[in-house]
Structure 1
Amino acid sequence: MSASDTDPMLPRVAYFSMEMALEPGMGTYSGGLGVLAGDVMRSAADLALPMVGVTLLSRQGYFRQRIEGGRQVEDDATWDPSRHATRLPAKVPVSIRGREVWVGGWQYRVRSGCASSPEVPVLLLDTDLPENQPEDRRLTAFLYGGDEAYRLCQEIVLGIGGVRLLAALGLQVRKYHLNEGHAALLTLELLRERLAANPSREQAIAAVQAQCVFTTHTPVPAGHDQFDYPLARTCIGPLVRELDLPTLAGQERLNLTHLALALSGWVNGVAQRHAEVSRAMFPGYTVHAITNGVHPWTWASDAHRRLFDQHVPHWCHEPEELLHADRIPGGELLAAHRAAKHALIGLLQRAGGQALDPQRFTIGFARRMTDYKRPSLLFSDIARLRRIAQRHPIQIALAGKAHPRDELGKRHIARLHEWARELGDGIPVVFVPDYDVDSARLLVSGVDLWLNTPQRPLEASGTSGMKAALNGVPSLSILDGWWLEGCEEGLTGWAIGADGPHDDALDAASLYDKLERVVLPLYYEDPTGWLKVLQGAITKNGAFFNSHRMVRRYMLDAYSH
């Protein structure tokens, strides 16, 4: 199949996501959901699959993070779309709050990272048009900004505006893929169209279900977008009544996850355990499991790319070939890691103003700073951490943003800086500000161990450990999300605690025990054993947990359903 965007008649899968990490400098994402969406588009380009992405322009981005006195400060993240994308010739009207709001867009072309494959287009929806009133022009300005009304209006633009813009451009769509519930309102536009052609509600709903695929990412009910119906009637208008929305999206409130479930013929979670959790949350729905993956070329360090090109031909298009990475001479694999670690040390020195020791064991922890991720777990017993480091020296690399309204997440960042000052030179701790895809790539490839400590069962999947594994970096992680599938104790990494409800005290004790008695002695005292773990991370996890495998599963299972 060809993904050439010069043929508008080619039937495509339209992949809708509120955020999408496309390129450094484009503020179209905030975290893991957007990075995953970008990896989907990059794999589609590598595999020459007929897809088109749809997301919001987010001209003023998320925010740039600055640290002052250990506290997060949010700075403007405005970017210029004309430097990255091409303005589209079409624009479409959408009714929002009783007004006609025009939605235009820009086209960004996703290129293959490892071959001259056809490009995959991504439409960046934009309401900053002269036809619109000032407050409507700002609807695509801030990613996850504003209040509930702003969020709902953004989701009208994404869902309804996105479907209409695809049609205006003449793009033929055979499947609509909703990446999380933010895009669920696209089903209303499809249902409206079907009812106009066929007044049978049952048949119209069946037709919409046949076209829609829904991926849910959130394992807790509070994380799903919900809106009061008075607000929905104000923002969406007559469609709420005309389509009898409460029968599809919940009687009490407009629940976008329920709407997506009701009008999608295929639903999946993002890991085996997450699918189980989702089936329990949404009884009566079949929830399949397609475990997430990461884009191989994007997340491999420069040194690992060269190494794989030399010893594992075709790994870029067929990452399952990394099963054979154990044929790479051990010295060359260790040299690639040293090169990646040297690049990371440079980043840490720029961020912390101190020179770190490339021979010292480096632990990496970088993710959205929110309470359930438990960023404080590693520091919960400072005295024991010091004792461990006296025998086997360690240094720690940290990064992550807290949502501007997440005061608890911001306190976590401040506390991490307090611990860094308290530990001083004994255990160097560096926090890298403004965590983005560039710094993430250096972190996941350059540390010696990737740490992940979420509360079970709140990690739907997690992908940072997959990125680390691709570079031969093992994980020390809670048994949740993808790690339940990827952890082979002592071969791909190590588990913290047991598979059950989280317990901060027990998990912290397990974390310290594994570091002190297993991980650090192996690193410092058994280099041959440590090399086997590096090889296992690549051959077992890197070869499987990649977005090529994920997208192929979508094509074969979800899109052909």
Structure 2
Amino acid sequence: MDDIEGVLKGQNIAYFSMEIGLSNEIPTYAGGLGILAGDTIRSAADLKVPLVAVTLVCNKGYFKQVLEDSGSQHEQKEEWVPAHFMTLLPPEVSVNIRGKDVKVRAWLYNCKSLTGGCVPILFLDTNVEGNSEEDRGITDYLYGGDQRYRLKQEIVLGIGGVRMLEALNFKIRKYHMNEGHSSLLALELLKRNGLKVTDVKESCIFTTHTPVEAGHDKFDYGLVEELITDRKDLEVLRKFGGEDRLNMSLLALNLSNYINGVTKRHSLISQELFPGYKIQSITNGVHSYTWTSPYFRELYDRYLPGWANEPELLVRVGGIPDDEIWAAHRSAKRALIDEVNRETGVGMDYETLTIGFARRMTEYKRPTLIFSDLERLRKVNNMGRMQLVFAGQAHPRDEAGKGLIREIFRYIEELKGEMKIVFLENYDMEMAAKLVSGVDLWLNTPQRPYEASGTSGMKAAHNGVVNFSVLDGWWIEGWIEGVTGWAIGPEPDEEFSDEECMACEINDLYNKLYYIIVPMYYDRKDEWFKLINNSIGMIAYYFNSHRMMRRYVTNAYL
């Protein structure tokens, strides 16, 4: 408890997130949102920002991905034991669900930094003696179950989280909602402030990550009335969360003074989705030290001392000899290729241009775009060999996403003997770190405008890996054609129909591979070195979570 007592000397920012990615051993994350939350917390600890994080324990994890030879995905439980990593705190609080009290306890995990900073993370848990069997399972699975299960989780996170902070005597200056899952905390704050909306808005910050209307959590009021039985609460929710359905993002928007999207483009899209609200932008970043391979860490330590806590020093990468940068990249690539060959036996080699694509498998990410025209792909490969590494999980209920994995496996089979292509099973943080540092080219092909931010390309840039991406999300801000990498398809302000845009993207993808990228990689290494240097000095120095956290402090927290 010493660490908590130290933090309690001042006011804290309470950071609420449904998922937080800390390590493979604590599988309380599903993808980008959770990884971002973990990076946010790590940077807050490094910078000694007085933050306390609140999430759910999800002791049965998200799921472990198992793939058949055909590419069919199966999900297995990924249970873990909180007591192996955390301390159970004494207080219990309760939340009312379906007219009865559900007990909530909290596990404490301290995220400590070498700078001496520490961010306590509270993992809320309903597996408490006295709760019914059903209620004990509310905090079991991340994004598990149906709408009823999800709303119960959001009651525990938002309302239970505020009550737990109070029980632990935290003095909270601001409540930061990382996406709308925790927005019921605003309902709790309204009750505590005698329904003074101005006071609550002054206390709340809302970061939205979703660029499409369908992606925001909405609940039918029949279900809401079943789980939240207080009539006054229901009146408040209808007033601030929508008359027809409870829209958790709308609730957060109406009760927050500071609202932001996660890139400049995303803020503009969010403004169109929710006209009448002032939506700022703070572009995401990644935790530099976490996502830099050991080989580049050693190099940066030698030439740019202090870079880990001042990533802006990476702008001085020009002072590092090219041959040492190339040696660091070669070591990271060797580590990845060795791992791929151990896992798959595919026989990839160290010299071939290696392209990586790893992210959640869902339709708008379009992981199969590179296979749109196999004859053109073969033509590129015959001119200069390529090998492809894929990874990613589909949500258990996303049948289309699962279908994409099977489709990639069919292409792997069809191109067997011509191109070495693998799909790695059970994509997690450890695998992501090897992929973003070990490939030569990072491919990203989202359908515009559905990529709110994306951060994998930022991680790749920290390791001198070059980006090749559709102009959406963060890449609009990081892209300088032929200098920091390459774009796929039209610029954001160019007007195309969906069909025209797709045709343009496919042409650009193959043409740039054939005429620019493959020849440069094999025949003009001096030009490739410039791109590696620019990835570090013009992307990594800026697109990091230290810069992001400083923006949150000055724009939202103070």
TM above 0.5: yes
The Cα offsets for residues 250-275 of structure 1, whole Å up to 9 and x where unpaired, read as 11100000000000010000000000
Which consecutive residues of structure 2, in runs of 5 or more, have no partner in the other structure?
none
Read off the aligned partner of 2:104 and give its amino acid letter.
Answer: V
Q: Is the 8 A contact 1:21 1:37 kept in 2?
A: yes
**1 CA distance for matches of 2:392 and 2:49?**
33
Q: Is the 8 A contact 2:187 2:233 kept in 1?
A: no
Read off the aligned partner of 1:95 and give its amino acid letter.
Answer: N
Aligned counterpart for 1:378 among listed residues 370, 373, 384: 370
**1 CA distance for matches of 2:324 and 2:440?**
16
C-alpha spacing 1:7/1:274, structure 2 compared with 1 (3 Å): closer
Read off the aligned partner of 2:154 and give its amino acid letter.
Answer: E
Q: Is the 8 A contact 1:9 1:170 kept in 2?
A: no
Aligned counterpart for 2:460 among listed residues 468, 481, 496: 468
1:264 is paired with a residue whose SS is coil
2:236 is paired with a residue whose SS is coil
Corresponding position: 1:100 with 2:101: yes
C-alpha spacing 1:5/1:116, structure 2 compared with 1 (3 Å): farther
C-alpha spacing 1:241/1:50, structure 2 compared with 1 (3 Å): closer
CA shift, 1:242, in A, is 5.7
CA shift, 1:8, in A, is 2.4
**1 CA distance for matches of 2:374 and 2:407?**
13
* Matches for 1:264-279 after TM superposition, within 5 Å: 264-279=256-271
The Cα offsets for residues 12-53 of structure 1, whole Å up to 9 and x where unpaired, read as 101000000012211110000000000000001111110011
| 2:520 equivalent in structure 1 | 522
1:107 is paired with a residue whose SS is strand
| 2:247 equivalent in structure 1 | 255
Q: Is the 8 A contact 1:160 1:186 kept in 2?
A: yes
**2 CA distance for matches of 1:260 and 1:223?**
15
The Cα offsets for residues 351-400 of structure 1, whole Å up to 9 and x where unpaired, read as 31222111000000000000000011011111111111111000000000
| 2:292 equivalent in structure 1 | 300
Q: Is the 8 A contact 2:187 2:236 kept in 1?
A: no
CA shift, 1:324, in A, is 0.3
Read off the aligned partner of 1:61 and give its amino acid letter.
Answer: G
The Cα offsets for residues 305-352 of structure 1, whole Å up to 9 and x where unpaired, read as 000000111110110110001111000000000011011112211331
* Matches for 1:206-355 after TM superposition, within 5 Å: 206-238=198-230, 241=233, 243-355=235-347
The Cα offsets for residues 222-262 of structure 1, whole Å up to 9 and x where unpaired, read as 00000011111111221554653211011110000000000
**2 CA distance for matches of 1:137 and 1:239?**
26
| 1:541 equivalent in structure 2 | 539
| 2:451 equivalent in structure 1 | 459
CA shift, 1:10, in A, is 2.2
CA shift, 1:120, in A, is 1.0
1:48 is paired with a residue whose SS is coil
Q: Is the 8 A contact 1:351 1:431 kept in 2?
A: no
Q: Is the 8 A contact 1:3 1:50 kept in 2?
A: no
Q: Is the 8 A contact 2:183 2:249 kept in 1?
A: yes
Read off the aligned partner of 2:108 and give its amino acid letter.
Answer: Q
**1 CA distance for matches of 2:117 and 2:401?**
41
CA shift, 1:451, in A, is 0.4
Q: Is the 8 A contact 1:3 1:51 kept in 2?
A: no
Segment drifting more, 459-468 vs 73-82: 73-82
Corresponding position: 1:142 with 2:141: yes
Q: Which runs of 4+ in 1 moved over 4 A?
A: 2-5, 239-243
Question: TM-score by structure 1 length?
Answer: 0.96
| 2:502 equivalent in structure 1 | 504
Corresponding position: 1:12 with 2:8: no
| 1:86 equivalent in structure 2 | 87
CA shift, 1:425, in A, is 2.9
**2 CA distance for matches of 1:499 and 1:238?**
50
Read off the aligned partner of 1:104 and give its amino acid letter.
Answer: R
1:466 is paired with a residue whose SS is helix
| 2:60 equivalent in structure 1 | 60
Q: Is the 8 A contact 1:60 1:79 kept in 2?
A: yes
Read off the aligned partner of 1:147 and give its amino acid letter.
Answer: D
Read off the aligned partner of 2:193 and give its amino acid letter.
Answer: R
Read off the aligned partner of 2:50 and give its amino acid letter.
Answer: P
2:6 is paired with a residue whose SS is coil
CA shift, 1:505, in A, is 2.4
CA shift, 1:9, in A, is 3.8
Q: Is the 8 A contact 1:66 1:72 kept in 2?
A: yes
Read off the aligned partner of 1:13 and give its amino acid letter.
Answer: I
Read off the aligned partner of 2:469 and give its amino acid letter.
Answer: S
**2 CA distance for matches of 1:8 and 1:276?**
37
**1 CA distance for matches of 2:454 and 2:340?**
24
Read off the aligned partner of 2:148 and give its amino acid letter.
Answer: A
2:123 is paired with a residue whose SS is strand
CA shift, 1:507, in A, is 1.0
2:67 is paired with a residue whose SS is strand
CA shift, 1:499, in A, is 2.2
The Cα offsets for residues 103-123 of structure 1, whole Å up to 9 and x where unpaired, read as 1010111122xx242221100
| 2:557 equivalent in structure 1 | 559
**2 CA distance for matches of 1:84 and 1:234?**
36
Read off the aligned partner of 1:318 and give its amino acid letter.
Answer: E
| 1:198 equivalent in structure 2 | none
C-alpha spacing 1:173/1:472, structure 2 compared with 1 (3 Å): same
C-alpha spacing 1:367/1:278, structure 2 compared with 1 (3 Å): same
Read off the aligned partner of 2:191 and give its amino acid letter.
Answer: R
Question: TM-score by structure 2 length?
Answer: 0.97
CA shift, 1:73, in A, is 1.2
**1 CA distance for matches of 2:152 and 2:85?**
25
Superposed CA RMSD in Å reads 1.3
| 2:192 equivalent in structure 1 | 193
**1 CA distance for matches of 2:117 and 2:5?**
8
| 2:73 equivalent in structure 1 | 72
Q: Is the 8 A contact 2:337 2:350 kept in 1?
A: yes
2:127 is paired with a residue whose SS is coil
**2 CA distance for matches of 1:497 and 1:166?**
48
The Cα offsets for residues 451-507 of structure 1, whole Å up to 9 and x where unpaired, read as 000000100000000000111111100000000000011111100001245532221
| 2:24 equivalent in structure 1 | 24
Q: How many residues align?
A: 550
Read off the aligned partner of 1:479 and give its amino acid letter.
Answer: L
Read off the aligned partner of 2:547 and give its amino acid letter.
Answer: R
Aligned counterpart for 1:409 among listed residues 389, 401, 404: 401
Read off the aligned partner of 2:315 and give its amino acid letter.
Answer: L
1:535 is paired with a residue whose SS is helix
The Cα offsets for residues 517-548 of structure 1, whole Å up to 9 and x where unpaired, read as 11111111101000000000000000000000
**1 CA distance for matches of 2:7 and 2:216?**
37
**2 CA distance for matches of 1:239 and 1:269?**
33
* Matches for 1:171-190 after TM superposition, within 5 Å: 171-190=170-189
C-alpha spacing 1:129/1:4, structure 2 compared with 1 (3 Å): closer
**2 CA distance for matches of 1:272 and 1:280?**
13
**2 CA distance for matches of 1:547 and 1:419?**
37
1:245 is paired with a residue whose SS is helix
Read off the aligned partner of 1:533 and give its amino acid letter.
Answer: L
Corresponding position: 1:419 with 2:411: yes
* Matches for 1:145-160 after TM superposition, within 5 Å: 145-160=144-159
**1 CA distance for matches of 2:231 and 2:43?**
36
Read off the aligned partner of 2:515 and give its amino acid letter.
Answer: R
Read off the aligned partner of 2:526 and give its amino acid letter.
Answer: T
**1 CA distance for matches of 2:126 and 2:342?**
38
